[in-house]
Chain A
Amino acid sequence: MKFGFSLLILALLIVIPALGASLGGAPFWGIVIPYCALLIFLVGFTSRVLKWAKLPVPFRIPTSTGQQKSLDWIQHSPLDNPSTGLGVVGRMALEVLLFRSLFRNTKVELKEGPKLVYGSSKWLWAGALAFHYAFLIIFLRHFKYFVEPTPFWVVGMQNLDSFFQVGLPMLLATDAVIVAAISFLLLRRLLDARIRYISNASDYFPLLLILAIAATGILMRYFFKVDLVGVKKLAMGLFSLKPVVPEGIGAMFYIHMFLVSSLIAYFPFSKLMHLAGVFLSPTRNLANNNRMRRHLNPWNPQVKVHTYEEYEDEFRDVMKAAELPLDKEKQCPKAS
């Protein structure tokens, strides 16, 4: 049902521009929509990140996943349990670039006995990594539409990509990877009873949306050829804030564009914000130097404590009887 709902919304997001663009109003679909989406993204994204960043971090609570730094002769894990800022940078880099924590994933099985067996389970890691890197490469590849002449690194990337080309017509490796990876992530959500149980509609939706974006892109590239010269004009126009709408770009392009706009406008309000949030996670981005350096809590509260004086006042007699040392031999008489 949640999946169906997401599918329905996606269908709307395809039908609307398909119909709309065929009715005309190209400047609306080609200029207004993308600009609005971008604006929403920029404002939404920055305000969300600023809001997080402004919040205090009252306690230093890294999760230690390796040996602490203590005695000189004990081998310490500088990346899994960093004690310095540099170590934290390393830990974060591993996390962000290689999905270190996901790489640890295991799978538990209960056998007769009872006997619990843990197996390594790297599929989620592999799928996620493939998806994110393919997405990144495709995103960067699009700079060839925004900048003239096409930047050399885009050309290089493209050459490398088609080096792995499979079959005709020139299916770029990343295109295949992203479709395969998203399909895997989607199927996993749908077929694994446990993951299906925890999934919300908002978990299917971004996958479907990105799959549709990839699909329309692939369709345009290989099957419904659009006027690439026109596309580049439009894109460069948008990029240089001098928008123009060339005639005769195919409808498929407007669908693609509308879906991309939907994605970036949806981004700041969704779980996709994990992109920025991961950098602000206090269990990962702090050094485990708790006992070496004091961490300050900006709102460190005043609390009511039980003082030794009060304690001794209450227990003076029994302490005296037990011959425990006392600070005051006798209770001071109440102020007269």
Chain B
Amino acid sequence: MSQGKLKPEELARITYQPPAKSWTDPTVEFRKGVICYGAVPETLNYLDLPHAKKWQPTDQDWKLPPDWKKIIFEGMRDRLMRFRSFKVFMDICVRCGACADKCHFYIGSGDPKNMPVLRAELLRSVYRRQFTKAGKIMGAMVGARDLDEKVLKEWFYYFYQCTECRRCSVFCPYGIDTAEITMMGRELLNLLGLSIEWINTPLANCFRTGNHLGIQPHGFKDSVEFAVDELAELTGIKVKAPINEKGHEILFVAPSADYFAQPHYFTLLGYLALFHEIGLDYTLSTFASEGGNFGLFHSNEMMKRLNAKIYSEAKRLDVKWILGGECGHMWRVLHQYMDTMNGPADFLQVPKSSLTGTVFANAASTKMVHISEFTADLIRHNKIQLDPSRNNHWNATFHDSCNPARCMGLFDEPRYVLQQVMKNFHEMPEDTIREQTFCCGSGSGLGTDENIESRMRGGLPRANAVKYVRDTKEVNLLVCMCAIDKATLPPLLEYWTPGVEVAGLHELVGNALIMKGENERLTDLRGTPITKPLENKQDAA
């Protein structure tokens, strides 16, 4: 894939000295490698979204409707009345700068408008002028700006250079969450048909076929069958993977990339092996074949439209509760939005592991359990047999994905599982993990090739922390639980930190899992030969 023309040494020449001109100057240059393609009319039309047009951000003329300012101001007024977060965050920032160097895009680019505080000020300055007395009377003093086309372009540029990772909000003394402001900014831009293709095409696909990739039901089934065959080749065991069957206990929903992309696919093999081994009574669904939800990166309404299928499918298939696979933004939606948007899920039951008897009281209302919670509970109760030495060829570190980290606090469940299924594990430096984790640089719908330079810049802090453990602890594997991570971390590491591969947690579970009646495992799930000492084979038997 194209890494852009810049070599890592060149890209790493970053200066943090702000420029001479004031930030209030909105001029931006839309460079190749930094910005994504504009959304195409077909997808906007399919989703009944306004102001579809053939358009690219690099065009001079953005074909704005004549009353575009009015549309934006109305949109702002409306959102200021619907979201306390938006209004309060517009009002109380003191520009203390605590968030400034917390954003991976700022660290990787040195562009001052990538400081969360300034990203927010881009919108705030217009808010002040339009909606506050101070901004109307003494605009210059409070940093108020008029809205014009340049400002609009600047919004687009910077709101599509924020991965909505919420790292800034951890450090802000008032909890100001620039991700929330970016979300509002994107909603406003949508009103004028200004969005990016990499978000809108998955949206349209997902609305129609149930998954971002646009895979139709038979294609989904093919892929699952293929995985079943592959697993049989690796283990000698042919597992069952029910699809669209009614009356099972559990509906399992994963990000669709798990079925079709690499290295996600090996995680799918891990799920299938685990479910077989514990005899889980579950079904997959082609209609709810996507747990991910790019609506989160578009608007709250779109998020709701795509999320609706999870509960409706659980109801149609008459399951008792829902289990969710490894994905970051998917879990933000499921954890913080689903129940509010499409609940109550009163037709489901409080999730209970039929193997351990554990009641997942933390999911009593939503009725959806994260697979790392489920697996941690299984291991804790000795319900599966593991041979960690089958992961001896890996020396791993763990990447907390932004959303499970800062929207849930899912830290120790995956770490527990990881340490049970493998022996060699090292944490990255503490300023780069858990709630302070650094984004892959490609989240929130920005994981495409067009903006590869932005991605490599934004991913620098993450890659650099991996480099640290690669160089000091000989780490060769980055484990994560997110479909976007699995897609975007490999090129990131190849660029900054070669020699480290990326895997999902349940790939490693699948490697270590001892299945009754299995053939001797000669390779791991991705086909790498397992090198292990003889006595371990004895243990495993």
Contacts and interface: CB of A to CB of B under 8 A. Distances in A.
A binds B: yes
Interface of A: 2, 5-6, 48, 51-52, 55-61, 63-71, 73-75, 77, 80-81, 83, 95, 99, 101-102, 104-108, 110, 113-116, 118, 124, 128, 192-203, 205, 269-271, 273-274, 277-278, 280-284, 288, 290-297, 299-301, 303-308, 311, 314-315, 318-319, 321-322, 324-325, 327
Nearest to A269: B134
B412 interface: yes
B403 to A, nearest CB: 10
A261 to B, nearest CB: 18
Given A75-B412, A202-B143, A291-B362, A61 B336 contact: yes
Contact of B308 (A59, A201, A305): A305
A124 B308 contact: no
B337 A59 contact: yes
B238 interface: no
B283 to A, nearest CB: 10
Query: Which 4 residue pairs spanning A and B have beta carbons closest together?
Result: A64-B409, A277-B92, A68-B409, A283-B175
Contacts of A197: 18, 23, 112
Interface string B429-472: 10110011000000000000000000000001100110110000
A67 B221 contact: no
B296 to A, nearest CB: 11
Contacts of A270: 134
Contacts of B12: 110, 113-114
Given A105-B171, A198-B117, 4 more contacts: A55-B87, A202-B143, A292-B364, A303-B308
B171 A71 contact: no
Interface of B: 8, 12, 14, 16-18, 23, 48, 80-85, 87-89, 91-98, 100-102, 107, 112, 115, 117-118, 121, 132-134, 140-143, 166, 169-177, 180, 207-210, 216-218, 221-222, 243-246, 286-287, 300-301, 304-305, 308-309, 312-313, 316, 335-337, 339-341, 343-344, 358, 360-366, 368, 373, 376-377, 380, 405-413, 416, 429, 431-432, 435-436, 460-461, 464-465, 467-468
B119 to A, nearest CB: 11
A119 B1 CA distance: 35
A100 to B, nearest CB: 8
Main secondary structure of the interface of B (DSSP, over half): helix
Contacts of B222: 322
B174 A277 contact: yes
A198 B118 contact: yes
A57 B82 CA distance: 8
A64 B412 CA distance: 13
A326 to B, nearest CB: 9
B420 to A, nearest CB: 13
A115 B472 CA distance: 13
A16 B365 CA distance: 62
Nearest to B373: A70
Nearest to A272: B94
A270 B93 CA distance: 10
Given A114-B464, A116-B460, A194-B18, A291 B364 contact: yes
Identify which of B118, B169, B343 gathers the most chain A CB atoms within 10 Å of its CB: B169
Most buried by A among B23, B176, B362: B362
Given A57-B84, A68-B409, A124-B96, A202 B246 contact: no
B94 A274 contact: yes
Contact of B95 (A65, A203, A299, A322): A203
Nearest to B218: A322
B286 A324 contact: yes
B177 A61 contact: yes
A302 to B, nearest CB: 9
Nearest to A310: B208
A281 B176 contact: yes
Nearest to A127: B96
Given A60-B336, A291-B366, A200 B95 contact: yes
B300 A58 contact: yes
A120 B440 CA distance: 23
Given A115-B464, A299-B82, A200 B88 contact: no
Nearest to B372: A70
Contacts of B82: 55-56, 58, 299
A110 B460 CA distance: 11
A68 B414 CA distance: 12
B409 to A, nearest CB: 3
7 contacts: A56-B84, A63-B177, A63-B406, A102-B173, A118-B429, A196-B18, A314-B208
A216 B228 CA distance: 80
A80 to B, nearest CB: 7
Given A61-B177, A271-B92, A308-B287, A291 B365 contact: yes
Contacts of B301: 301, 303
B141 A61 contact: no
In this complex, the member of B217, B305, B361 whose beta carbon has the largest number of chain A beta carbons within 10 angstroms is: B217
Contact of A104 (B101, B170, B286): B170
A161 B531 CA distance: 70
Contacts of B407: 61, 63-64
Contacts of B218: 315, 318-319, 321-322, 324
A71 B364 contact: no
A327 B313 CA distance: 12
A321 B468 CA distance: 52
B217 A324 contact: yes
A329 to B, nearest CB: 14
A277 B416 CA distance: 38
A325 B287 CA distance: 12
Nearest to B346: A294
B336 A305 contact: no
Nearest to B468: A115
Nearest to A315: B217
B316 to A, nearest CB: 6
A305 B92 CA distance: 37
A72 to B, nearest CB: 8
A171 B88 CA distance: 39
B170 A63 contact: yes
B17 A294 contact: no
A38 B18 CA distance: 40
Contacts of A55: 80-84, 87-88
Nearest to A288: B409
Contact of A292 (B180, B300, B361, B416): B361
Contact of A282 (B85, B171, B361): B85
